[in-house]
Amino acid sequence: MKRKNNVNETVNNQPVVDGEEILDGVLRWVDVESPSHDPDAVNHMADHVEEGLAMIGMKVERTLGRDGYGDILKARTPWGEGPGILVLSHIDTVHALGTKDGANPIRREGDKVYGPGIYDMKAGAYIAFYAIRHIIRQGKETPLPLTFMYIPEEEVGSPTSRDMIIEEAKKNKYVLVTEPAREGGKIVTARNGRLEYEISVTGRPSHAGARHMDGRNAIKEMAHQIIKLEGLTDYDRSLTCSVGTITGGTMTNVVPSECSVTVDIRVPDMETAEEVMAIVEGLEPVDPDCSITVTGGVDRPPYDKFEGIAVLFEHAKKVAAKIGFELQDLKTGGGSDGNFTGALGIPTLDGLGADGHGAHSFDEYIYFSSLEERTKLMIGLMNTLE
């Protein structure tokens, strides 16, 4: 792809927010593929981010990865003290290495720019970086100090970074999350929560022919439980329950004594979460000779558009209006690291990344035309939040 070389574009010696320049940086980050489960690849990506942050004078801390995940980056502006703004991005993607060479090559077709993880969320992560770099290039400081976190395993639920995210969020007044924009540029002001469970049934094995009556079929018992679980779904309440995986049995001619499933449940609020948890954790076997064990619980807590978020959103709307567009918001069923911070009661705006389509698919792209606008919104928020 041909790109014009326009790094450090200026007008009257003042740096301008330039879409081509932003895209250039986004594509350099997309080019470094970083699947969550490949710590070396994610760390290679972290090297790029760290280098960029250090170059503009940010104070960078790098926490070594563990449990098979990459390193966690945290960077602070050199100015300001006390509670400020936490800007949350993740640098992992769901795509395997080589996706850019096969299933979704990096390319530009009209306003669409394709590539693995470009929409979710290399573009958003880069927008945050570009925004602070722009402010620093202008020789300005923001009213509040900024802390950036670049998370290595958000796509698998942030198992190694969530405590750090929560700890950092508590020290800040606001949280801005650079997940992709939704449905024509909407940002996210509320999220459903997610519960995750593994449920196992133990029955009794026997010969499937000669001693069928002695067996207690764990798969049959699980079938009853699956119907109960799926029956929790109530679209009117934004409550869904999906049995996602199932394993059980050993041989066709053996009455199976083991069966287990994993379950994904989405809830609109904590009250619903508690109601559902009581049901799932209290599941009773239909056949009293079988036993059920349930492990799991809240993966990501839900949060509503509470007062603090509503005020923050109204502020963001004004910033957008000044730039020249109308900002809208929505509640989404999907989870992000914003769940941790929103559920703590810290005003959180999510979905501040690029507009586009096809997260987690091979048809993933961003709209080039959204880059400038979203970057200006991010810069505007950084410059005006007090």
* Nearest distance, CB of residue 59 and Zn ion, angstroms: 25
* Nearest distance, CB of residue 324 and Zn ion, angstroms: 27
| 364 belongs to the binding site for Zn ion (CB under 5 A) | no
Helix (H), strand (E), coil (C) string for 125-169: HHHHHHHHHHHHHCCCCCCCCEEEEEECCHHHCCCCCHHHHHHHH
Looking only at residues 178 through 207 of this chain, which bind Zn ion when binding is defined by CB under 5 A? 179
* CB nearer to Zn ion: pick between 122 and 220: 122
| Helices within 287-337 (DSSP H only) | 307-323
Phi, psi torsion values for 305, nearest 5 degrees: -80, 80
* Nearest distance, CB of residue 153 and Zn ion, angstroms: 11
* Nearest distance, CB of residue 49 and Zn ion, angstroms: 15
Instruction: Tell me how long the chain is.
Output: 386
* CB nearer to Zn ion: pick between 182 and 216: 182
Q: Which pair of tokens denotes residue 328?
A: 């809208």
| 91 belongs to the binding site for Zn ion (CB under 5 A) | no
Question: Are the C-beta atoms of 58 and 78 separated by less than 8 Å?
Answer: yes
As a whole number of angstroms, the distance between CA 33 and CA 97 comes to: 6
| 121 belongs to the binding site for Zn ion (CB under 5 A) | yes
* CB nearer to Zn ion: pick between 136 and 190: 190
As a whole number of angstroms, the distance between CA 378 and CA 257 comes to: 56
Residue, CB closest to Zn ion: 120
* Nearest distance, CB of residue 93 and Zn ion, angstroms: 8
**Closest among 214, 215, 207 to 252, alpha carbons compared:** 207
* Nearest distance, CB of residue 236 and Zn ion, angstroms: 28
Alpha-carbon torsion (326, 327, 332, 335), positive or negative:
positive
| Options 33, 38, 120, 372; binder of Zn ion; rule CB under 5 A | 120
**Closest among 381, 321, 326 to 350, alpha carbons compared:** 381
Contact mark string toward Zn ion, 161..180, x via CB under 5 A: ------------------x-
Q: How many residues bind Zn ion (CB under 5 A)?
A: 3
| 292 belongs to the binding site for Zn ion (CB under 5 A) | no
* CB nearer to Zn ion: pick between 21 and 350: 350
Enumerate binding residues for Zn ion (CB under 5 A): 120-121, 179
